[in-house]
Structure 1
Amino acid sequence: MSNIKALNWRYATKKFDESKILSEDKIEVLKKAFNLTATSYGLQPLKMLIISNKELQSKLRDFSYNQQQVNTASHVLVICIEDKVDEEFITNYFKRVKHVRETPEEIIKPFHEFLVNDFKTKAEEEIHAWATNQAYLALGTLLTVCASEEIDACPMEGFEPEKYDEFLSLPDKNLRSVLVLPVGYRAEDDEFSKFKKVRRPLDEVIIEID
């Protein structure tokens, strides 16, 4: 499937077929796509929970304004931000750079020191807002990959993060939930899946500058 055809096929699924479960291969693709997504500075201040326990999914529906996608999906992906992005977190990133790329310390050191000092000047709320922006980048990557793999998905901001955090013990993992993405396969009787996409004309949303 071409990229444009896949994106035309994609839609925010309203009803999943509970009998259809994503294969391990498909889940592995989503794991790798999440890990390969672009993030600012390459710091990856994100983690993703993959939930396939139906009992947990039913409980999470209670914290998702009763949206049925949460408990009928094959899996529920919860995109989380790191609660603390500090000097240790940044240093660990540069250790990975040095290990993977075998980059000399003298080349790494100036940028390493810059990021450490820059983040020290930021308020906690500012860092959380920055990390949340990275979560949206990851969501965009996942939605595109889902479309290309013909995996249905429904991106959700409509949930109660504090209750997700408490129920899933996220503070113990130094995490905060920011986005939810149920994935699976659309139900045959989901009438919304047959609707044509409604988008503004290209000449209204694209500005070309020669």
Structure 2
Amino acid sequence: MTLLETLTHRHTTKAYDKNRKIPASIVTQLLEALRYSPSSVNSQPWHFFVADNDAGKARIAKATSGVFSFNVNRVLDASHVIVLCARNTLSPDYLQTLGAQEQADGRFATDEARDVAQKGRATFVGLHEQAGDVATWAQKQTYIAQGFLLLSAAFLGVDATPMEGFEASILEEELGLKEKDLTPVVIVSLGYHSDADFNARLPKSRLPEQAIFTPL
């Protein structure tokens, strides 16, 4: 498919075929889409929990009880479910880990280049620490990763459902997120829609170009 065909074909899946699993080779590509997502100053302020079996999906589904029960089957019946989490803080140790990885990956021609990059990243993090919004900044970056995951899934013929409809406190307890200094941002189910997915048959509806674009 072309890019436009991919964009107009993808939809938020409402029901999954529980008997269809995503091939391992495609799962690998989807996880790489997350890993290679861009982030401000390459901060990569995220962590992803991946469930590919009934037990793992059941743990995530606990957070879709009560008012969010409409999402239970979208978790349990999917092939894979990913919880996208954002880091609440970006510690000096974590920034050092990023710098060491960049060094190992050959991003710096000289020690001076390395020092400039690390200083620049620390400066941006420091600005957000002063503003008291590091966690919010990290969550914004995590939504970029979600966008890459959704587009990649559609390109690879995989259906997806992004969900904010869950009890964060339940997920935090189930996955021990507070101890890991993480906040759950969004859950994404992945798989193949079933015949019960009414949304797969509906046309796209978006505002017209003139309503959202302003030429300058």
- TM-score by length of structure 1 reads 0.92
The runs of 5 or more residues in structure 1 that have no matched partner are none
Aligned-pair distance for 1:69? Answer: 0.4
1:108 aligns with 2:114: yes
Q: Kindly state the Cα deviation for residue 176 of structure 1 after the two structures are TM-superposed.
A: 2.3
* Alpha-carbon distance in structure 1 between the residues aligned to 2:124 and 2:12: 38
- Which residue matches 1:6? 6
CA contact (8 A) 1:38 1:137 kept: yes
2: CA distance between counterparts of 1:123 and 1:185? 45
C-alpha distance in 2 between matches for 1:4 and 1:157: 26
Amino acid at match of 2:214: I
What one-letter code is carried by the residue in structure 2 that aligns with 1:44?
Answer: Q
Change in Cα spacing, 1:189 to 1:80, as seen in structure 2 (3 Å) is same
State whether structure 2 residue 116 is matched by structure 1 residue 83.
no
| Deviates further, 132-141 or 74-83 | 74-83
Q: Report the counterpart of residue 93 of structure 1 in structure 2.
A: 98
With 80-89 and 166-175 compared, the bigger mean Cα shift is at 166-175
Aligned to 1:204: 211
| Residue 186 (structure 1) aligned to one of 175, 193, 214 | 193
**Deviation of the 1:112 alpha carbon:** 1.8
**How far apart are 1:53 and its partner, in Å?**
2.3
Q: TM-score, normalised by structure 2?
A: 0.89
Distance 1:38 1:118, change over 3 A: closer
Number of equivalenced pairs:
209
Asked if 2 retains the 8 angstrom alpha-carbon contact of 1:98 and 1:105, the reply is no
Query: How far apart are the structure 1 equivalents of 2:173 and 2:131?
Result: 20
Deviation of 1:44 (Å): 0.5
Paired letter, 2:58: S
Conserved in 1, the CA contact under 8 Å of 2:12 and 2:199? no
Please provide the CA RMSD for this pair.
1.8
Mark the CA change 1:81 to 1:185 in structure 2 (over 3 Å): closer, same or farther. same
Alignment partners' CA distance in 2, 1:207 and 1:21: 43
SS of residue in 2 equivalent to 1:182: strand
CA distance in 2, matches of 1:170, 1:98: 29
> Do the aligned partners of 1:51 and 1:76 also contact (CA within 8 Å) in 2?
yes
Q: Identity across aligned pairs (percent)?
A: 23
Which digits, 9 at most, give the CA deviation of each residue in 1:123-152, with x for residues without a partner?
Answer: 595110010001100001111101101100
Preserved CA contact (<8 Å) 2:43 2:121: no
2:188 counterpart letter in structure 1: L
**1:45-60 correspondence to structure 2 within 5 Å:** 45-60=45-60
